[in-house]
Amino acid sequence: MNTDLTNGYALLKDVLDLVREDELSKCEVIIFAPFVHLKVFQNSLNGSGIALGAQNCHQEKSGAYTGEISAEMLASIPVEYILIGHSERRQFCGETNEMLAQKINRAFEENIKAVYCFGETLEERESNHHFAIVEAQLREGLSNLTKEQMAMVVVAYEPVWAIGTGKTASAEQAQEIHAKARTVLADMFGEVTAAATRILYGGSVKPSNATELFNMQDIDGGLIGGAALDATAFSEIVKA
Ligand code: PGA
């Protein structure tokens, strides 16, 4: 919930100026914009090589849910991705794994790809429950999917204690969870699908730590929050 439309658009323009085409041939870049920004962003991103995503959708198809946004509405923009279960949605809006599984299905009904977020709180880590928590989040949130559908899902590990706090999980702490996630995915969908699934890390990624994180074996990219509000920092992370 940052930037009004004017400032958001100015930020987008700066990102478009700074992220170069040769970088886009090496990695995929997606901008997850607030709902209010989506249509304007879609016009600007068209043909840029950068994809557009929304930050949430409702779990029901349509109906009397005043103030909510459906996957169908997002398809009419159109967006290519929807972020599902960001830790702040789980934390502040009470979104459960079951609800998130429904949201993924809604996205698929509209041919929109999902980025499914998971990750433990500080309390869960300190009480040594972090492996069990992330396993349950993956198993329950992705439970309805076929192998073919899983190929349209990106997952993102977000340790809640490292989001917007300036604290980053060490590359080793992140790798350990990413490796665990890949093992769980292999058990659910088979080795081939698990190996092909992109597992992103989100939690205070900055230009100064991006390379180290992205060099870890099971870290396939980043979900960037605060640093994405600075076009220069964001473009440096894309380079990393
Ligand atoms: P942050 O946010 O980079 O500001 O920690 C990450 C996220 O929202 O996933």
Please give the share of the chain, as a percent, with pLDDT higher than 70: 100
Q: What is the pTM of this model?
A: 0.96
Say whether 178 is catalytic: no
pLDDT tens profile 56-75: 999 999 999 999 999 999 99
Which candidate in 86, 120, 124, 178 is catalytic? 86
- Which stretches does DSSP call E strand in 119-222? 153-157, 199-201, 221-222
pLDDT tens profile 195-215: 999 999 999 999 999 999 999
Res 165: pLDDT: 79
- Which stretches does DSSP call E strand in 49-121? 51-54, 81-84, 113-118
Say whether 86 is catalytic: yes
Q: Which residue has its alpha carbon closest to ligand 1 atom 2?
A: 225
Percent helix / strand / coil, the chain, rounded to 5: 50, 10, 35
pLDDT tens profile 111-142: 999 999 999 998 999 899 999 999 999 999 99
Res 237: pLDDT: 97
Query: Bridge partners of 53?
Result: 32, 81
Ligand 1 close to Cβ of residue 203 (< 6 A): yes
Q: Identity (one letter) of the amino acid at 53? A: G
Report CA-CA distances (Å) from 45 to 12, 37, 57, 72.
Answer: 9, 12, 21, 20
Ligand 1 close to Cβ of residue 163 (< 6 A): yes
